[in-house]
Amino acid sequence: MSLFLEQWKKLANIKCDLAKRDWFYGTSGNLSMKISDDPLLFLVTADEKDKRARCDEEFIVVNNLGEPVFDTVLKPSLETLVHANIYEKTSATCVLHVHTVDNNVISELFGDEGQVELENNEMVHILTSSYFENKIIVPIIENAQDMETFKRAYTPFLTKDFGAVLVRNHGITVWGRSPLETKKWLEGIEFLISYKVKLMMIQGHKIKAGN
Ligand SMILES: CSCCC(=O)C(=O)COP(=O)(O)O
Ligand SMILES: [Zn+2]
């Protein structure tokens, strides 16, 4: 099987998995997978499509400028330049972006601090493959409508080949060296975020009730 077809199938499988989790509310979210380094070419989801509707289609091959390299009626995701920036600055091969209620809540709660610490949970050890790492720090950037500004806001955090950035009141973007690593980080970080949101709700409730 050609690398192109292989990557297409891997991305389609991830799209199905995330759709089963119901992580594509409305038409939100976008996914991509690198096909080649030089020139940079990658598959990306189409703008404003319901990513739950079809699992095996609707990827577009784009270049470093986010332009389709083959004729297509589809429009690449509006956030394609963010994906291109990640591929240009790291050795990531996959980028996943989803909007969930919990990642939006945590991004607003910690937005002024510019980061959130996820800690005290076995999932941290699973993600870092280390019993010595006790926390994962996820940076939070401000949302922006202008794509050049938005893309640039990620740049200071593109120092590793895998990682995550929360966008305030918008969603999360995760990248990794392989599709499996990227999905593992997305699911693991979403788990830790959800855990923290629920714990804070209960603890806040206890403080209010004077317990
Ligand atoms: C500036 S509009 C961004 C929309 C969005 O946040 C999203 O995740 C979906 O965009 P797409 O173009 O990939 O459908
Ligand atoms: Zn988005």
pLDDT digits (tens, 9 = 90+) for 46-91: 998 999 876 556 899 999 999 999 999 999 999 999 999 999 999 9
Atom of ligand 1 nearest to the CA of 48: 14
Is the overall model pTM greater than 0.90, yes or no? yes
Which pLDDT score is estimated for 53?
78
Q: Which protein residue has the closest C-alpha to ligand 1 atom 9?
A: 28
- Any atom of ligand 1 within 6 Å of the Cβ of 67: no
Question: Residue 198 burial (CB < 10 Å; 0-12/13-18/19+)?
Answer: exposed
Q: Where are the alpha helices (DSSP H) in the chain?
A: 3-20, 80-89, 101-109, 122-128, 147-154, 179-208
**Bridge partners for 15 per DSSP:** none
**129 Cα to the center of ligand 2, angstroms:** 29
Specify whether the CB–CB gap between 72 and 44 falls below 8 A: no
User: Quick one: average pLDDT of 91-113?
Assistant: 98
Q: Is the interface score ipTM higher than 0.90? A: yes
Which pLDDT score is estimated for 57?
65
Which pLDDT score is estimated for 24?
97
**Which of 18-22, 172-176, 203-207 is predicted least confidently?**
203-207
Instruction: Compute the distance between CA of residue 97 and CA of residue 131 in angstroms, rounded to an integer.
Output: 28
pLDDT tens digits, residue range 117-171?
999 999 999 999 998 889 999 999 999 999 999 999 999 999 999 999 999 999 9
Is 205 annotated as a binding-site member?
Answer: no
pLDDT tens digits, residue range 6-39?
999 999 999 999 999 999 999 999 999 999 999 9
**201 Cα to the center of ligand 1, angstroms:** 29
**2 Cα to the center of ligand 2, angstroms:** 30
